[in-house]
């Protein structure tokens, strides 16, 4: 299986690419429109420079060479959700070319690289809604004019799993550089696939088909598998692959040729005369490059080097999104114990985020506070069990751990008299177990320690309690 992917990404600008209409998702139909994006007679275009910056950032993050001159072109075709009757895109001279993304490694350790042919800018079309009103198609132009970048890969992917890895890698990189939501569910990331088949050892490319209408990464994987199987069946029977567009039908688990529209489209590309060539001074490109945040691959490598206690799995989890890694580091450094910090972040923090629905960027527990809590555990100021309770309260209130521990009486108690008092209480309340323990059932020690911890709301020093219990039965 030989695959190349064309990925369209909506850029996270506040306004559209050629006008000042909002790009807000979910507004009432046709409310984010103006003469420009409605293509009223006499309207012209004004380029959104922030969209250009995000596009440059995307290209640089994918290792591309940004062209100092690129040209906007008209892609001409008729469709009701394309108001001008042409889409502004880039054809001969795209924004950027020749990038590369590593999507994994082979068993022998060699990297699996996917070359990026080009990254170019274009505008999104509106939406055609076929099923809401009987007998007619409704058109919502809120999306018309939203800025897109199109990322085109070389046919370097071998297999559906590599396609999946490529998409995940791409998504992660784009999240790190904060250019887009990159959500297939929300429509800010769309994938079209070009797929062909050839015999093992063959170097020439087979005839490709284009596959569209996948709505998730797993949909892409499945669609590729199905189409590959179809192509193989044709080839095995001695037939030839017809170059055509196939539509993925997830419900039926099959690909079907797209309803034929009088042959292949001639888009009659020509340079748009309303927009001057996009000339990018090197200083602008350099500035954006300097301001690029740390990319996932670089962060993974750095974590490996700086935090040798972390396992590969730890690093994968901590670098999955940009926010988590940043948070982790802000805990790890002051706490002085990266491994413990990692465990807390991967465990308690992630669980709390899930339970409260917060994003890491707005998490109620400040990293410095969590670091302090870890210090407190290390220094024996609170027990591990108490620390969990302190953390829970930190999530709820955002208060610093020292304050909470004092307030809730969770500071570790090492004073023997207090401990002995709790032990006596436990022995009284759990007399049967106490007797059996005293009678020699050593394995009940843990249970009794547990009771003491519960009684003390976690404040008791479990080590000392163990010692006192051992003393009591004279070992």
Binding span for other proteins by CB under 8 A among 3-11, 54-62, 82-90, 398-406: 82-90
With contact defined as beta carbons under 8 Å apart, do 145 and 17 qualify? yes
For other proteins, the binding residues in 313-372 under the rule CB under 8 A are none
- Extract the runs of DSSP E, i.e. beta strands, from 317-456: none
Q: Which range touches other proteins (CB under 8 A), out of 183-191, 266-274, 414-422, 467-475?
A: 266-274
With CB under 8 A, what is the number of residues at the site for other proteins?
28
Q: Which of 276, 336, 347, 380 binds other proteins (CB under 8 A)?
A: 276
Stretch that binds other proteins, among 71-79, 145-153, 415-423, 439-447 (CB under 8 A): 71-79
256: Cβ contacts below 8 Å, ≥ 6 apart: 246, 247, 249
Give the DSSP per-residue string, 120-149: EEEEPP-EEE-SSSTTS-EEEGGGTT-EEE
Residue 275 in the binding site for other proteins (CB under 8 A): yes
What span, in angstroms and rounded, lies between the C-alpha atoms of 171 and 59? 13
The rounded distance, in Å, linking the Cα atoms of 298 and 146 is: 31
Stretches 55-63, 146-154, 268-276, 343-351: which one binds other proteins (CB under 8 A)?
A: 268-276
Q: Is 178 in the site for other proteins (CB under 8 A)?
A: no
CA 211/CA 282 separation, integer angstroms: 38
Q: Does 232 bind other proteins (CB under 8 A)?
A: no
**Least distance from other proteins to the Cβ atom of residue 82, Å:** 9
Bridge partners (DSSP) of residue 74 are 88, 270
Considering only the stretches 38-46, 164-172, 344-352, 410-418, report the one whose residues sit in contact with other proteins under the rule CB under 8 A. 38-46
Binder of other proteins out of 28, 78, 237, 439 (CB under 8 A): 78
Q: Is 177 exposed, middle or buried (0-12, 13-18, 19+ CB in 10 A)?
A: buried
| Shortest CB 19 distance to other proteins, Å | 10
Build a one-symbol-per-residue string for 131-160: x at contacts with other proteins by CB under 8 A, - elsewhere: ------x-x---------------------
- Nearest approach in angstroms of CB 144 to other proteins is 11
Nearer to other proteins, 80 or 380 (CB): 80
H-helix or E-strand spanning residue 42? none
Q: Look at residues 238, 251, 267 and name the one whose alpha carbon lies nearest to residue 85.
A: 267
Give the range of 203-211, 265-273, 398-406, 450-458 binding other proteins by CB under 8 A. Answer: 265-273
Whichever of 13 and 372 has its CB closer to other proteins, that residue is: 13
Among 31, 68, 69, 85, binds other proteins (CB under 8 A): 85
The interaxial angle of helices 445-455 and 462-472, nearest 10 deg, is 130
Positive or negative torsion for Cα 440, 446, 447, 451: positive
Considering the rule CB under 8 A, would residue 236 count as an interface residue with other proteins? Answer: no
Closer by beta carbon to other proteins, 40 or else 473: 40
Q: Cα 188 vs. chain centroid, distance in angstroms?
A: 13
Looking at 28, 41, 281, 439, which residue binds other proteins (CB under 8 A)?
A: 41
Applying CB under 8 A, among 268, 378, 384, 463 the residue interacting with other proteins is: 268
In a 13 Å sphere around the CA of 201, the CA atoms on its Cβ side amount to 0
- Give the Cα separation of 62 and 56 in Å (integer): 10
Q: How far is the CB of 47 from other proteins (least distance, A)?
A: 7
User: Minimal CA–CA distance to 230: which of 216, 211, 213, 212?
Assistant: 211
Select from 375, 306, 390 the least CA-distant residue to 335. 375
* Contacting residue, 270, 350, 408, 411, with other proteins by CB under 8 A: 270
* Least Å from the CB of residue 34 to other proteins: 9
Using DSSP's 3-state secondary structure scheme, residue 115 falls into: strand
Interaction between residue 43 and other proteins (CB under 8 A): yes
**Which range in 80-88, 220-228, 281-289, 459-467 contacts other proteins by CB under 8 A?**
80-88
Choose one: 72-80, 154-162, 402-410, 421-429; the region binding other proteins (CB under 8 A): 72-80
Q: Is there binding between residue 42 and other proteins (CB under 8 A)?
A: yes
Q: Is residue 396 close enough to count as binding other proteins by CB under 8 A?
A: no
CB of 23 to other proteins, least distance (A): 20
By CB under 8 A, name the one of 109, 273, 357, 440 that touches other proteins. Answer: 273
Contacts of 461 (CB under 8 A, 6+ apart): 380, 383, 412, 413, 414, 419
Q: What's the per-residue H, E or C state across 155-192?
A: CCECCHHHHHHHHHHHHHHHHHCCCCCCCCCCCCEEEE
Contact set with other proteins (CB under 8 A)? 35, 38-47, 74, 76, 78, 80, 83-86, 137, 139, 266, 268, 270, 273-276
């Amino acid at each position: 299986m030989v695959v190349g992917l064309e990925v369209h990404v909506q850029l996270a600008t506040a306004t559209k690419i050629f006008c000042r209409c909002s790009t807000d998702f979910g507004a009432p139909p046709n409310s984010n429109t103006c003469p420009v994006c409605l293509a009223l007679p006499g309207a012209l275009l004004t380029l959104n420079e922030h969209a250009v910056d995000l596009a440059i950032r995307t290209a640089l993050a994918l290792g591309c060479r940004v062209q100092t001159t690129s040209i906007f072109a008209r892609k001409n075709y008729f469709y009701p959700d394309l108001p001008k009757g042409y889409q502004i895109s880039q054809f001969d001279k795209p924004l950027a070319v020749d990038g590369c993304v590593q999507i994994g490694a082979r068993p022998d350790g060699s990297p699996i690289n996917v070359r990026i042919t080009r990254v170019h800018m274009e505008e999104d079309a509106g939406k055609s809604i076929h099923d809401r009103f009987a007998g007619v198609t409704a058109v919502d132009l809120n999306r018309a004019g939203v800025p897109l970048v199109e990322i085109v890969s070389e046919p370097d992917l071998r297999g559906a799993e590599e396609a999946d890895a490529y998409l995940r890698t791409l998504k992660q990189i784009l999240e790190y550089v904060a250019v887009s939501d990159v959500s297939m569910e929300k429509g800010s990331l769309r994938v079209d696939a070009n797929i062909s088949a050839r015999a093992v050892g063959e170097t020439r490319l087979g005839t490709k088909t284009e596959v569209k209408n996948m709505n998730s990464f797993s949909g892409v994987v499945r669609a590729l598998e199905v189409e590959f199987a179809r192509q193989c069946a044709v080839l095995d029977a001695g037939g030839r692959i017809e170059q055509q567009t196939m539509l993925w039908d997830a419900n039926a688990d099959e690909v079907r040729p797209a309803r034929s529209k009088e042959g292949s489209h001639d888009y009659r590309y020509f340079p748009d005369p309303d927009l001057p060539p996009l000339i990018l001074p090197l200083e602008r490109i350099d500035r954006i490059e300097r301001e690029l945040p740390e990319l996932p691959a670089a962060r993974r490598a750095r974590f490996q080097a700086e935090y040798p206690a972390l396992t590969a799995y730890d690093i994968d989890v901590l670098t999955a999104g940009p926010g988590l890694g940043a948070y982790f580091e802000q805990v790890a450094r002051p706490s002085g114990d990266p491994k413990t910090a990692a465990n807390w972040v991967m465990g308690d923090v992630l669980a709390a985020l899930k339970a409260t629905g917060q994003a890491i960027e707005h998490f109620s527990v400040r990293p410095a506070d969590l670091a302090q809590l870890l210090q407190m555990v290390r220094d024996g100021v609170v027990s591990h069990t108490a620390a969990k309770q302190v953390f829970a309260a930190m999530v709820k209130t955002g208060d610093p751990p020292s304050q909470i521990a004092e307030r809730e009486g969770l500071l570790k108690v090492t004073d023997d008299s207090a401990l002995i008092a709790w032990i006596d209480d436990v022995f009284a309340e759990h007399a049967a177990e106490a007797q059996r323990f005293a009678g020699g059932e050593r394995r009940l020690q843990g249970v009794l320690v547990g009771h003491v911890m519960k009684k003390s709301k976690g404040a008791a020093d479990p080590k000392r309690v163990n010692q006192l219990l051992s003393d009591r039965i004279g070992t």
